[in-house]
Amino acid sequence: MPVKLLIIDDDADLCQLLARYLLKNGYEVETAYSGNKGVAKYKAAPFDAVIADYRLGDMDGVRLVQELKQVNKKAAILVITGYSDIRQAIEVTRLGVFDYIPKPLVPEEVLDLLKKMTTQQQAKEPESSRSVSGDFFHQEYYIGKSKPTTALYQQVKVVAPTNYSVVLYGESGTGKEVIARTIHHSSKRAEKPFVALDCGTLSRELAGSELFGHVKGAFTGALQDKEGHFEMANGGTLFLDEIANLSPEIQAALLRIIQERKFKRVGGNKEIVADVRIIVASNEDLKAACQKGRFREDLYHRLNEFAIHLPALRDRREDIGPLAEFFLRKSCEESEKQVACFSEKVLTAFQRYDWPGNLRELRNAVRRAVLLTAAGNTIGDDVLLPEIITYQGIAEDAPDTTTSSLPDQQRDLLKEVAGRAEYQAIMSVLQKVNFNKKKAAELLKIDRKTLYNKLKLFQGDL
């Protein structure tokens, strides 16, 4: 069944553009051009999700969310906000809004957030157990057959049936959430919820509420009880991405929950049993973070019952061709346009390129190529980003003469100098765009999460 979506926005043009995009991506969409009409439609018929502008002609976001929650306290809502309203939008999340989307809207980001939100809404529905064998997982992900990938899934096969906590390490874009889902669906908890939370997006003020929930009146804006992610994942698996971003206070609370298997909502007195398997992910070494004082060592040892390192795409080049073909099929389905295939030059460029953004970067490169290629044509190198085509790569057998022969002290010094140079480059771009992180990330050709992580890392190291 398609997800039934209501868009509430007094900007009719934006409303219609967004509606058409989401219709093409398989959603059943209705629109309303005012808050009152939106609430009336929501009362008249059931909707799976709502996207609403924070500023409407007849009401603001707070009132709208309150009225929608009166109709259905579990309403799944995304709020669209301008830059000047982000502070208010964060406040609205305390009312139970899933997330806010800053303007200007990026359709792919809206789609990704919608998928995450509706996945969590459906998380409590029973799911059939799935196997990790074969090339595809749940018809959504291509696994691959290279040696690093085979070794990775062998580890998944070993740990999945257990109740061990798992730490997933890997660069951004290597598919850590995919592996977490695979572990869950191959475990005894497969019919229970899988709930994912990106700790990198949590503010210090909201982290406790998001993880543990809160009771009405616990803080300003807590107008009703809220279920936290631990409760949503009861009996199943909770996946915490970018775990190192949690504050020391939340790390301490998380440790207590793991030890005692129970917790209290923020502002509450009732103890709630936490029957949850925890899988965490990080793109930095948690042991090193412990040594730098950024992560609790006792929490690290509790979580590190089994560690899995995900290979970078450049380390599984045998999978690049099949993955590109897989993403091509998916992109054709999304765009409702049939593109024939890749030219040999494109496949060669894909094979040679180092893919610093890993699977995410490859997927985006293919989606862009499909968008720019006429239906029925072959994808040529003219629709690829210049850095992919011009990248020469490094011969596999060539020795690493850059730092491998240097003493450890000199190698560390070079890394420090390189880090400072990268920091200066990022700060220079930020200053040019008046510290607009979204624009800076676009100019630097990295996603916003990577930019935030780099800034946090620099603050700790420099």
| pLDDT band at residue 442 under the 50/70/90 scheme | confident
Based on the fold, state whether residues 188 and 262 are members of the same structural domain.
yes
Domain-embedded: residue 293:
yes
For residue 58, the one-letter residue type is: D
Domain-embedded: residue 98:
yes
Based on the fold, state whether residues 297 and 177 are members of the same structural domain.
yes
User: What does 173-222 look like in DSSP terms, one character per residue?
Assistant: TS-HHHHHHHHHHTSTTTTS-EEEEEGGG--TTTHHHHHH-B-TTSSTT-
Domain-embedded: residue 115:
no
| Burial environment of residue 421 by CB neighbours within 10 A (0 to 12, 13 to 18, 19 or more) | exposed
Geometric angle at alpha carbon 123, from 117 and 124, rounded to 5°: 135
Q: Which residues pair with 309 in a beta bridge?
A: 169
Based on the fold, state whether residues 285 and 422 are members of the same structural domain.
no
d(CA 362, CA 368) in angstroms, rounded, equals 10
Q: Which residues contact 272 (CB under 8 A, 6 or more apart)?
A: 230, 231, 262, 263, 264, 265
* Least reliable range by pLDDT among 119-123, 203-207, 440-444: 119-123
d(CA 57, CA 9) in angstroms, rounded, equals 9
**Residue 83 is part of a domain; what is its CATH number?**
3.40.50.2300
Q: Domain boundary at 275, 309, 343, which? A: 309
pLDDT at 55: 86
pLDDT at 228: 85
Based on the fold, state whether residues 100 and 159 are members of the same structural domain.
no
pLDDT at residue 417 above 60? no
Average pLDDT value for the chain = 81
Q: Which residues pair with 53 in a beta bridge?
A: 80
Q: Domain boundary at 255, 275, 309, which? A: 309
Based on the fold, state whether residues 439 and 333 are members of the same structural domain.
no
pLDDT at 117: 84
Domain-embedded: residue 18:
yes
Q: Is the dihedral of CA 424, 426, 428, 430 positive or negative?
A: negative
Based on the fold, state whether residues 26 and 142 are members of the same structural domain.
no
Based on the fold, state whether residues 337 and 358 are members of the same structural domain.
yes
Domain-embedded: residue 193:
yes
Based on the fold, state whether residues 159 and 30 are members of the same structural domain.
no
Domain-embedded: residue 273:
yes
What is the average pLDDT across 109-126? 72
Place of tokens 């995450």: 116
Task: Note down the domain range covering 59.
Answer: 4-106
pLDDT tens digits, 78-93:
988 875 555 566 666 6
Q: What phi, psi does 53 have (nearest 5°)?
A: -70, 145
**Residue 348 is part of a domain; what is its CATH number?**
1.10.8.60
Is residue 241 within 8 A of residue 197, CB to CB? The reply is yes
Candidate ranges 93-107, 150-164, 421-435, 445-459; pick with highest mean pLDDT: 150-164
Q: Domain boundary at 288, 309, 330, which? A: 309
**Residue 300 is part of a domain; what is its CATH number?**
3.40.50.300
- 3-state SS class at 63: helix
pLDDT at 399: 41
What is the average pLDDT across 24-46? 89
Based on the fold, state whether residues 161 and 266 are members of the same structural domain.
yes
* Least reliable range by pLDDT among 242-256, 264-278, 415-429: 415-429
Domain-embedded: residue 121:
no
Based on the fold, state whether residues 211 and 302 are members of the same structural domain.
yes
Calculated CA dihedral for residues 207, 211, 213, 219, nearest 10 degrees: -10
What is the average pLDDT across 64-80? 88
Based on the fold, state whether residues 189 and 299 are members of the same structural domain.
yes
pLDDT at 457: 65
Based on the fold, state whether residues 31 and 151 are members of the same structural domain.
no
pLDDT tens digits, 185-236:
899 998 888 988 888 777 777 788 888 888 888 777 777 888 888 888 889 9
| Burial environment of residue 132 by CB neighbours within 10 A (0 to 12, 13 to 18, 19 or more) | middle
pLDDT at residue 72 above 50? yes
* Least reliable range by pLDDT among 107-116, 305-314, 419-428: 419-428
Q: What phi, psi does 356 have (nearest 5°)?
A: -60, -25
pTM of this prediction? 0.57
Structure tokens at 438: 């979204």
Number of domains within the chain? 4
d(CA 448, CA 436) in angstroms, rounded, equals 10
Domain-embedded: residue 200:
yes
pLDDT tens digits, 357-392:
999 999 999 999 999 999 889 999 999 988 898 887
pLDDT at 187: 92
